[in-house]
Structure 1
């Protein structure tokens, strides 16, 4: 069963789709919390002046060790304040083999979804010019039609707040093959995903929707997207080391940092982000400083102050008091200060940008590897919180909830949850089973959400500070739930609430029972398949006759044939995972033959096993066989029922190639 467990873990890894700010990690065992029962109050330190000398000393004390500990080759960090660069500095290597240092003025990093801020800037420029209406059906700007959902169309405001309702789309996402790049005109109708939420109701992060916004900019402006951002964003700001073009222009190739799994492994090919407006930017730290300064200065050089305020100050509906979307940016509150921000991840590069408009401060970090165990996420999270604690301290006075009520509310939260950012109508929906988040309670009755533990620098200590709002005493981040009729209907956490919520897993697909059932089913199938040749060899060794004959023998043999077909399908899915893990782009064309084969083989094997195992069970009772054979036949039928159920509810069949 070790192979089966590895296979399921591998499938779950597919859920960590790139170009997102944060994502869940495998949940460790729940341990007893060691924090005090009452919420800790952050005592603000004496304000520290944000100047180059202090900032550089502080970063030099934190980042080199953090990168080395995470086995991350290099990073660039930029901090701006009051329209000036306080510090822009490179750490480590942009090319490990050549020992080339990171140069903040010229070394290009891939900020992933931070690119979206450039796209949203372009959208707002067109809003300012009256060419885009934030609340108009976007079909008015397109040359293909997006069907209404529940009678409601999509608006640009929906797109900019990640509430267009699209399910996840990964087929045309990232590839190492330059030939995978396609025009937005071709990609947008080709990759149109299903809509699974009513517009404006549910935050669900969408790279496709952002690319759609870029395509609309292209159509209303009359310029291709790459040229548009060069002419209307990069040139006005003097961003000479920034481009959305893929492959890179020749003049910039030599400045591109390599991307790595970690510092001990080889450099990887340049990533082609296929929905380019969602994440194809390559830029130096110095150029990102110019972009931050422009937005902090009310959009100076890019848009009118009133347009920038419309973009920065908008607050979309969310879950309780948690962070929500502005237009394109999302909120990140810390120490009582509101930041507007965006994170970004390609496969190899991991970045974050924060702007504090009230303090006129901007911070940007980009790293060229996920590092050991995805440590890049913890590095940037700690940078954000520790920077704020040092330079933007604040007095926080969280409330309290009595211990009895807190335990009751924590118990109500226990269960498995499905992220709104996922696939729901195609075969990748199986990731909803393998990647379900789980909430539990510790031995002393406190809330535990282990999937978040890897995203911070320290252990989480969730303390309820008001009804159904919990606060992590280490970071100040909050977790909140919406409760109706005494039941939790959705919940989220500050780090992801602007663009993602979690809803209780439906009973039909809840991994609390379905994952063990799958393990049981696969174990029964493997045992049945292996027992067939083993029993044959044993009989041959002892020159014994098989007790089954005629229809009973045929039923037995056919059930074992289909058991082997189930194993073949399992191995095929494992091969798909291995290929996808080696090259994410392989799922966008090169492996189409395998995907088609598996979606034919899987229902054939599972339904065939159910039919033949049922026939075999019927024959065992008709022939009055030993109870052991009857039990084995019953268990195999149960296993087949589980496999059929999984095949149906997770759409492991069909021919549609939009996923």
Structure 2
């Protein structure tokens, strides 16, 4: 849920109020087949395996134990349902490694992360069904605080449920380990309203804040605290007796909670508290998640009427023709000609996925209690879904020829891109710069995207097989782009398309030129900083007097001191980012004082950069100054000015520490 950040586009609103359409009308459009090509060779489809407990158990036994061991993952739970019944629910590995407590699908609770949002969305639709909420009404009508106006358009529950509110990313207080820092949902929502950086309804940009706001709206219109509402209207009707949104866990459930691990071979970490609980606070057993899947596979079961349930699964936003669409809360993961909706979820420690094969009555849920070595759980859950689909719902994949436009379009795609799930007003803008994706046009007319790698961490090669549509080497994933007037507007892959886009990096955030210039200027700064004490010692040793005094000497020293301030600033932020990367729960306010200290260092550096410019002028106009001395003084001044601009550009100096 918290690990990723990402990106402008037309939205096709295909989900209408339930009263206006029949359930059949509200079904999503069946997934389009792979682009046909004249003469394309279509191999015979592999026969489908029998989706029975015997076959699924044998397949999982050959799949997961070795994967958990090699990935250093402590434990996992996998559940498969079909036609209203549990096919199998299996625990693998340990819920507590030290105590050798095995994972029990009936009694061990996992943290499904953002899969919690499916419960929030279901609650929203229950209130829509009851006539208490309108999907297209300004959410300010339901709130006791104000979402500031922007772009001349209001935020609605429909834009929230399609992740097109336009909110920038939020991270502070999102995940806590100290229960004392947790606040009631309303107070958590009012801590800070994130800035809207896109017009509502345009660019998918996954938002935990938006989902939490939807949960708060349910709380307000129902008159029940959010966790109690879910208990009364979802858990109890479904018999989910081992599930809760309450944090820390109630006494009766705490004993069954799985430990959470970074890797299975290390000590467990503290229980994670999700302050904006509707976005990811669920704790549940695999058996209870089976009940939830069965309800939705039964067109809402006891939770929703069929028209309302099907409205959730209908295409509500289709960013790219040929890639999966966004429903209302559920996103499409259509594969092999089958309609699939679902959701993934991550806390720092738990990593999960839920997939519903709508027309087949089949559900697949998996959750891992460790990230594993080199994020092994992320790779494992992706492959488990793909391989499960290929095993039980195989489809012949035609050998599509390369499009005639492959070379031309690869050149158009080449460049640097940032995620739509990012921030513009705080230090996380720096993370967008550091995490940019780069597309390279290869000599064989394929493209590679630096951030889209295979299990071996090697960037995949994508071959164009249709207009602005690429396929990976295994034929299991597609990438598409929206291009207008010969320029890329955005691109994404099937797994991300409904919720996260990649958009071209603006010039002031383009790592293609910023990072090389930053490297050169940092080199000049480092040399200047290190040479200052060395030169001073040499002069003292040989009693050499450089012959400058007064203001020139003061400017010289201020310039050298400024280079050391830059080194302190860069080192400080390197440490801060390392701490955040290793444990996002440190964004609970404890780093604020250090961020403020870095801002004071930056303010001093700004003064120093001004002094360096004055020094450069002084040296350049000083009689008898060497040519090299003049050149170096100018280079140092330009380097300090650039680095100060960069720090300000990525918002490392802000009046508040809201993010």
TM-score normalised according to structure 2 size: 0.92
CA distance in 1, matches of 2:580, 2:478: 34
CA distance in 1, matches of 2:581, 2:462: 34
Task: Report if aligned partners of 1:336, 1:396 keep a CA contact under 8 Å in 2.
Answer: no
Aligned pairs (5 A) from 1:352-363: 352-363=353-364
Q: Match of 1:561?
A: 561
Q: Match of 2:529?
A: 529
CA distance in 2, matches of 1:400, 1:92: 44
CA distance in 2, matches of 1:534, 1:239: 70
CA distance in 1, matches of 2:126, 2:93: 37
Aligned pairs (5 A) from 1:53-202: 53-202=54-203
Relative distance call for 1:612 and 1:459 in structure 2 (3 A) is closer
- 1:385 is aligned to 2:386: yes
Q: Match of 1:452?
A: 452
- Count of residues in correspondence between the two structures: 627
Q: Deviations over 1:64-101 (max 9, x none)?
A: 11111211111000000010111100111111111111
Q: Match of 1:29?
A: none
Q: Deviations over 1:179-202 (max 9, x none)?
A: 221111111121210000000000
Q: Match of 1:308?
A: 309
Q: Deviations over 1:249-275 (max 9, x none)?
A: 011111111111112211000001111
- 1:577 is aligned to 2:561: no
Residue aligned with 2:189, SS: helix
CA RMSD of aligned residues (A): 1.9
Relative distance call for 1:522 and 1:289 in structure 2 (3 A) is same
Q: Match of 1:294?
A: 295
Give the C-alpha shift of residue 334 in structure 1: 1.2
CA distance in 1, matches of 2:104, 2:40: 43
CA distance in 2, matches of 1:424, 1:562: 27
CA distance in 2, matches of 1:443, 1:497: 27
Q: Deviations over 1:543-571 (max 9, x none)?
A: 22224322221111011112222222222
Q: Match of 1:494?
A: 494
Relative distance call for 1:497 and 1:101 in structure 2 (3 A) is same
Deviates more, 1:112-121 or 1:645-654: 645-654
CA distance in 1, matches of 2:85, 2:610: 72
Give the C-alpha shift of residue 637 in structure 1: 1.6
Q: Match of 1:619?
A: 618
Residue aligned with 1:463, SS: strand
Q: Match of 1:654?
A: 654
CA distance in 1, matches of 2:456, 2:330: 21
CA distance in 2, matches of 1:457, 1:555: 49
Residue aligned with 2:333, SS: strand
CA distance in 1, matches of 2:43, 2:643: 51
Q: Give the gaps of 5 or more residues in structure 2.
A: 8-38
CA distance in 2, matches of 1:504, 1:608: 34
Aligned pairs (5 A) from 1:434-453: 434-453=434-453
Residue aligned with 1:462, SS: strand
Relative distance call for 1:234 and 1:111 in structure 2 (3 A) is same
CA distance in 2, matches of 1:91, 1:339: 25
Task: Report if aligned partners of 1:40, 1:473 keep a CA contact under 8 Å in 2.
Answer: no
Deviates more, 1:450-459 or 1:45-54: 450-459
Q: Match of 2:10?
A: none
- 1:18 is aligned to 2:17: no
- 1:545 is aligned to 2:537: no
Task: Report if aligned partners of 1:112, 1:345 keep a CA contact under 8 Å in 2.
Answer: yes
Aligned pairs (5 A) from 1:503-518: 503-518=503-518
Give the C-alpha shift of residue 458 in structure 1: 8.6
Relative distance call for 1:42 and 1:426 in structure 2 (3 A) is farther
Q: Match of 1:413?
A: 413
Q: Match of 2:630?
A: 630
CA distance in 2, matches of 1:78, 1:658: 40
Task: Report if aligned partners of 1:342, 1:352 keep a CA contact under 8 Å in 2.
Answer: yes
Q: Deviations over 1:503-542 (max 9, x none)?
A: 1111121000101212222222222111111111111122
CA distance in 2, matches of 1:328, 1:455: 29
Q: Match of 1:34?
A: none
Give the C-alpha shift of residue 42 in structure 1: 6.4
Relative distance call for 1:427 and 1:534 in structure 2 (3 A) is same
TM-score normalised according to structure 1 size: 0.92
Relative distance call for 1:582 and 1:412 in structure 2 (3 A) is closer
Aligned pairs (5 A) from 1:39-58: 43-58=44-59
